[in-house]
């Protein structure tokens, strides 16, 4: 097995439900519900037969469901960025953006806040996302394969 590097999670102080998304194929998109914060995220991936599958939805039922983001066939994630801040006295993910090798940015979703994070990947790829959620997306981290 190739080496893996865990980065994060960038976290708030809540979220009783741990989650891990490990696609059995290539990540091809996502859908985020947001308002002032990131309420939830759901990923889409394609298996080796190019059949699309969705992850579970990680987070609560609130926010506005944004249009799904779909990557081109030759498009891959190269950076994830966002912010963390207080919302009704709990610390949560307040914004998220995804950036691709084709120079496209998806987001920011949410309103943004004080503490920012950014993970650019110049070599390797994102192979897993993880974190915690409750009514909101409370934390997010990644596993990279260099």
Q: Which residues of the chain have pLDDT under 70?
A: 1-2
pLDDT at 124: 84
pLDDT at 1: 55
* CA distance linking residue 134 with residue 18, whole number of Å: 9
Domains of the chain: 5-145 (2.100.10.30)
pLDDT at 77: 94
Tokens of 85: 């801040």
pLDDT at 18: 96
pLDDT at 15: 83
* pTM for the model: 0.93
Rounded (5°) CA angle 101-103-106: 95
């Amino acid at each position: 097995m190739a080496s893996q590097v865990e980065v994060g999670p960038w976290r708030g102080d809540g979220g009783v439900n741990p989650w891990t998304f490990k696609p059995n194929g290539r990540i091809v998109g996502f859908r985020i519900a947001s308002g002032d914060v990131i309420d939830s995220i759901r990923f889409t991936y394609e298996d080796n037969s190019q059949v699309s599958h969705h992850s579970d939805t990680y987070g609560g039922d609130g926010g506005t469901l944004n249009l799904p983001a779909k990557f081109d066939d030759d498009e891959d994630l190269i950076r994830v960025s966002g912010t963390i801040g207080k919302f009704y006295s709990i610390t949560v993910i307040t914004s998220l953006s995804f950036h691709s090798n084709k120079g496209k940015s998806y987001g920011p979703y949410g309103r943004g806040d004080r503490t920012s994070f950014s993970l650019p990947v110049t070599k390797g790829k994102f192979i897993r996302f993880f974190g915690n959620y409750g009514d909101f997306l409370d934390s997010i981290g990644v596993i990279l394969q260099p």
